[in-house]
Structure 1
């Protein structure tokens, strides 16, 4: 599956029953102005499952909504797992649907990473293993609702992560860099303006509010990196691996920020 074939892993809100607006918990914070329990519909959710303040989410304090990405799990659960029967039409299945959604979201995230890995020329030595993992993950998403809900995602993620780590090593192997491993590093507010971070692994690193203006992040491994409010203006993320739309949405950038082709420039970047 080529990198461009990830269309099914992009959110299609028009084909979803507003699952992220119902199934998930909101906690009053800088990301949300109110508390909301899981299974309770957001007060902004309309009868057609669209958001009543979609164009004003940030102004209304719902910046968390503009950052969230379900990797296409919403439409998969709505149209495939439940065959187009929404939780209002079939309230007896609502609770189960809300339990299935977050599991599906995690599986779709793994599909995003595996599909990306398969598209990279450096992963030719492990292509068969990657494809087998992709096929297994896809099979898990196609199960009956109860089966999906019961999936041991943590165990499956561990198996997939072995291949993602190998992918990272293969992609970054040809780049000379003294400090290539910054996994889980605490870089909160770090001053990294113009830093050469080519081929560095920043897996799970805390880059909250870090100054990355003009930084070179080509071929950097960014899986799980916390980029909330990180300043990416003018930064080059070309060829960075395992970067997601959610991470990009959480950061700050501008017209000079270079992103991988699979990701879109957030409208709030201006």
Structure 2
């Protein structure tokens, strides 16, 4: 990327609008690049690099309107964080994988790399909105700038990028952000019960009844919340980065001040019109059915 290119980079806004999927400007990359397993809520078992059987010539999904009725929870939950349109329109300048088949395999790999970078941008953008972390906002802003510029690298340069190192560097800042936010959320919180002491990063809470557990300021990074009951819970300051929300019950829960929650997590969960969400996230359509 040249200096002029770098100077013209448009950074994500605080509402995450640049980090939302825009399928109209993508080439159905998620429907081709990803490995599918029917047992995980996708149409069929499919190898990475093979088009989904429901992908049409115009790159639209022919069953997108009734994914829920078909039980395609994997498709419902997936979110590319806007990586699809970035790869299609920026990395490859609008040349799709059908017209330029010699670039297809590289394009699919670049999409997977870009998705990771855009996920990091999502978390960093959110972190900059969190007032308890104001003391490290400068470091967060600098890191966001660094990661955003990486997304404008050429496809060849992206293929050579050490994404793991980038994730480690970002995660150190996100951990510090989490500590600051959770510390403030825990102020005045009652003493942990025996049940609360079992909570923490990577906790196995599959099917757990958490309706009466005080989760304010809890560290649930990477927690298994599959089919967990969180109805009516106040989740102020709860860190949900990487948590598995498949079929978690969020009806009437207050997630408006939880941190590092993504659209994909919500899409995989159950909720209703009374579930309170962060301003950056959209209420899943199937919650209102």
TM (norm. structure 1) is 0.96
Tell me if 1:189 matches 2:207: yes
Q: CA deviation at 1:150?
A: 2.1
Matches of residues 1-270 of structure 1 in structure 2 within 5 Å?
A: 4-174=14-184, 175-176=186-187, 177=189, 178=192, 179=196, 182-270=200-288
Which has the higher mean CA deviation after the structures are superposed, 179-188 or 30-39? 179-188
C-alpha distance in structure 1 between counterparts of 2:180 and 2:28, whole Å: 39
Instruction: Count residues in correspondence.
Output: 270
Q: Aligned with 1:119: secondary structure?
A: coil
C-alpha distance in structure 2 between counterparts of 1:2 and 1:55, whole Å: 29
Q: CA deviation at 1:3?
A: 6.0
Which has the higher mean CA deviation after the structures are superposed, 46-55 or 3-12? 3-12
Which has the higher mean CA deviation after the structures are superposed, 129-138 or 171-180? 171-180
Instruction: Check whether the contact 1:209–1:228 (CA below 8 A) recurs between aligned residues.
Output: yes
Q: CA deviation at 1:82?
A: 0.2
- Across the aligned residues of Structure 1 and Structure 2, the Cα RMSD in angstroms comes to 1.5
Instruction: Check whether the contact 1:194–1:213 (CA below 8 A) recurs between aligned residues.
Output: no
- Structure 1 gaps, min length 5: none
Q: Aligned with 1:49: secondary structure?
A: coil
CA deviation string 1:145-203 (max 9, x = no partner): 01112221111101110000000111111223435861110001001124321111100
C-alpha distance in structure 2 between counterparts of 1:62 and 1:220, whole Å: 29
C-alpha distance in structure 2 between counterparts of 1:194 and 1:248, whole Å: 21
Which has the higher mean CA deviation after the structures are superposed, 178-187 or 39-48? 178-187
1:207–1:197: structure 2 CA closer, same or farther, 3 Å change rule?
A: same
Instruction: Check whether the contact 2:15–2:280 (CA below 8 A) recurs between aligned residues.
Output: no
- Partner residue in 1 for 2:4: none
Q: CA deviation at 1:30?
A: 4.3
Which 4+ stretches in 1 moved above 6 angstroms? Answer: none
Instruction: Check whether the contact 1:2–1:116 (CA below 8 A) recurs between aligned residues.
Output: no
C-alpha distance in structure 2 between counterparts of 1:188 and 1:90, whole Å: 45
